[in-house]
Structure 1
Amino acid sequence: MSDRDSDSDRDRDRAYDDPYLIVSSDCHAGLPTEQYRPYLDSRFHRAFDEFLGQRDARREEATRLGIRNEAFAARWFHDHEEGLRGGWDTGQRLKELDGDGVAAEVVFPDADAVDSQTAAPFGVGLGLSGDQDPELGMAGARAHNRWLAEFVSERPERHCGVALLPVTGEPDEVVAEIHRAKASGLGALMIPSMWVDKAPYHDRRYDPVWAAAAATRMPVVTHSGAAPRHEYGDHLGIYVSEVTWWPARPLWFLLWSGVFERHPGLRFGIAEAGCWWLPNQLWFMDRLYLGAHGGKKLSPFAELKRPPSEYLDRQVFICATNTKRRELAQRYEIGVDNILWGSDFPHPEGTWPATRQWLRDTFHDIPVAESRRMLGLAAAEVFGFDTGKLAPIARRIGPTPADLGQPADQAAVEASWARSRETGRHWLTGSDFPVLGVAP
């Protein structure tokens, strides 16, 4: 064996042994709602008091509709009382992140997804919607953004704060909030997944907003939560079946209207909506663009200069919270670098506080190099984390591939996925549709 071969083996061994640098692309933080008062412009205090006075009624309605389970809520808060303080307490939060092996996180609003006791003012957190009162909506968003900027400033290398952006308001005011949020230290923008009765996102009135987001290098993200709940009655299954569809819907509005073509620096993501739906959606959109029979009768897609999958790879990412094994099996169609894992801390539907075991159960047969991308490195690039500053943290808390049950013989693991990897997007490679390599 030559010295070069020996060095190569040592490098490969070192890469295998290195702890993972894990970045959660979807976590949540928020003050207990009443504590937002100092961050809210004083002229909105009376309206805020009225909003607070309606909390009990909102909780009772959620229980009636089956959205809130009283017994589960009592058990959840009892069992996790200390850790849940990490929703707004930095010291506790870092303890919980360290315990999960998470070096850095992207921070969305609403730490409490059970009782909504940390909802941003006027319901502009995960319930951010296009039909909210424009003045109250922007006031509530600014209050949360001010607090969040303070919160993430304590350990800025570990947190990317997501500013709330009621984008359906007046464009000049929306653009001003983008620049204010950027100057305060926040790093991304969450827009409503539903515009309701306002202009859809293909409307050119939003072009200044997309341009400002691109110029400030702040990714724009939708997040699951809002949905037309008034339509569902007490049929919770309807809500659950389509709640992830609403944050995905803006993707094809932005794509087909040429927003990604006009604003190549814009990055757009979808959070907590899974990515199981994307391979078929991408297949369908590519076929339309490339001249499938069903699309030939339609007008030319003049706004696009390339197939949808190319825009996806260039500008789109999926914050695939609690990523499922079925989704990992589809990663060569979705794009490995387009999948950004998230823990959803501190929500009960996420992986906390058992993230390490969850990672082992889910990633044990995924190649280490690909796991490193999906578990952290891709998110670090999208959200602008400094991996040099995170490296010592990862060495201290990060699980190793061995901790995830990933074998040292990576050649065998790579070989087991060779067919799926070579097939990739079968509608572009001309390959046979692959058999999924991972059980559901």
Structure 2
Amino acid sequence: PRIMDVCAQEDAIVVPESGMQGVSVARMGMASSRLARNEPLGRKPGHKPDVAHMKDPELVALFNSGYAGMRKGLVDGAHRYEDQDVDGLAAEFLYPGFFAMFGFPDTELLVALQKNYNDWLHDYTTASNGRLYGLAAIPVQDPVAAAEELDRVIKLGFRGGCIPCTSPAGRPYFDEDYEPIWSLAEEAGFPLSMHVGCGSYVPPEYRPTKARRDAIADYAATQHTVQGTIVEFLCRGVCERHPNLKIVVAEFNAGWIAHWLDRVEQGLARERRNMDEPYTGAPPHEIWRRQFYATIEDDRPALATRHLIGVENLMWGSDYPHTDSTWPCSIDVLDELFDGIAPEDRDRITRNNVQELYGIH
């Protein structure tokens, strides 16, 4: 199998044995195009640069050149420090950029792909001289293979991993088949992340159809994708059985969390009389504070409600190298975003929390 350019914003994984059939892989816009074109950064105070230029013919031509037209650090971990230095970052945790990797219907292919990805990610981050940390993909669609891969990546030195932000259809995360995964992750102190877009299946609204979907409404409601999944952990016994398991809700932002946790507790109070087994766990907001984290970018509502969410439960990220990243002006964005906020809160959200969660110093 190999990767080849297909068109302006797309690559494909080509498998020769299948008659040169390819799996389409969309190439997400790269933040580095801003510097490559020496273009001004249009943005509002406290926010990331805008992305209004994505259909610009010159930019499309740049994408046509493939990753060869981008910064070296995108494909070579030994050069990633150059991008970090531009942005004022000491280190980064890396999430998968190929979201479809978590939702292939062919489970055997999914397991093989994620194992290969983890091997590549290990090589890429190892070349970075300690400034990159990879988050391994865990193929939960096959719980037995997932437990084996989890054990393997822990031994390779990974400090955390990713699971789909939607549990596999018909097998919610409170199913007993996943217990070996949660137990091993808990025992190893291995946080598991659920990243936006990394679902175990393609939601109906994103499947090919003649009907035009409302992209604005979809974007505004992105957090709905993961909310039901969090409830599977919060209210269905997983966190009660595994009180030291850590879960990261990644790139869904967090301004919605304080109100949503109130709704979860109200819903639990209303429905507990109808539950097959009585709920005996701690209140959901206490479990959240104990076991959950959320990442933010330029999320003012999250900072305004940080004491309800938990200052210790928030972590900032730049989303580099995607086009809607705060790169290369992250420090300016943070200065504006945290204006008027206690320095110790900024230190926690931008550095201390992630260091403590993953055990780096």
TM range (shorter): 0.7 to 0.9
User: Aligned-pair distance for 1:201?
Assistant: 1.3
Asked if 1:256 is matched to 2:235, the reply is yes
> What residue number does 2:212 align with?
234
Asked if 1:367 is matched to 2:346, the reply is no
> What residue number does 1:141 align with?
114
Aligned-pair identity in percent equals 26
The 1:267/1:162 distance shift into structure 2, 3 A limit, reads same
- Show CA shifts across 1:200-242 (max 9, x none): 1121111111111112221111111145101774322243233
Partner SS, residue 270 of structure 1: strand
Q: How does 1:317-336 map to 2 (within 5 A)?
A: 317-320=293-296, 322-336=297-311
> What residue number does 1:51 align with?
22
- Show CA shifts across 1:117-154 (max 9, x none): xxxxxxxx322445521011011101110011111122
> What residue number does 1:434 align with?
none
CA distance in 1, matches of 2:56, 2:329: 18
User: Aligned-pair distance for 1:336?
Assistant: 0.4
Partner SS, residue 189 of structure 1: strand
CA distance in 2, matches of 1:356, 1:48: 49
CA distance in 2, matches of 1:50, 1:338: 44
Larger radius of gyration, structure 1 or 2?
A: 1
Asked if 1:305 is matched to 2:277, the reply is no
- The answer to which of 298-307 and 248-257 deviates more is 298-307
Q: Which amino acid aligns with 1:328?
A: L
Q: Per residue, is there more strand in 1 or in 2?
A: 2
> What residue number does 1:314 align with?
290
> What residue number does 2:190 align with?
218
Q: Which amino acid aligns with 1:75?
A: L
TM-score (norm 2): 0.79
Greater relative contact order: 1 or 2 (C-alpha under 8 angstroms, separation 6 or more)? 1
User: Aligned-pair distance for 1:296?
Assistant: 6.4
Q: How does 1:148-227 map to 2 (within 5 A)?
A: 148-155=121-128, 157-169=130-142, 171-225=143-197, 226=199, 227=202
Asked if 1:105 is matched to 2:92, the reply is yes
The runs of 5 or more residues in structure 2 that have no matched partner are 6-14, 28-51
CA distance in 2, matches of 1:334, 1:47: 49
CA distance in 1, matches of 2:57, 2:259: 36
CA distance in 2, matches of 1:92, 1:147: 16
Q: Size of the alignment, in residue pairs?
A: 318
Q: Which amino acid aligns with 1:353?
A: P
The 1:128/1:184 distance shift into structure 2, 3 A limit, reads same
CA distance in 2, matches of 1:136, 1:277: 36
The 1:75/1:130 distance shift into structure 2, 3 A limit, reads closer
The runs of 5 or more residues in structure 1 that have no matched partner are 1-31, 36-43, 60-67, 111-124, 388-440
User: Aligned-pair distance for 1:373?
Assistant: 0.2
Question: In angstroms, what is the RMSD of aligned CA positions?
Answer: 3.0
The 1:47/1:257 distance shift into structure 2, 3 A limit, reads farther
- Show CA shifts across 1:218-276 (max 9, x none): 11111111451017743222432333321343111111111011011211111010111
User: Aligned-pair distance for 1:163?
Assistant: 0.6
Partner SS, residue 248 of structure 2: strand
The 1:303/1:178 distance shift into structure 2, 3 A limit, reads farther
> What residue number does 1:390 align with?
none
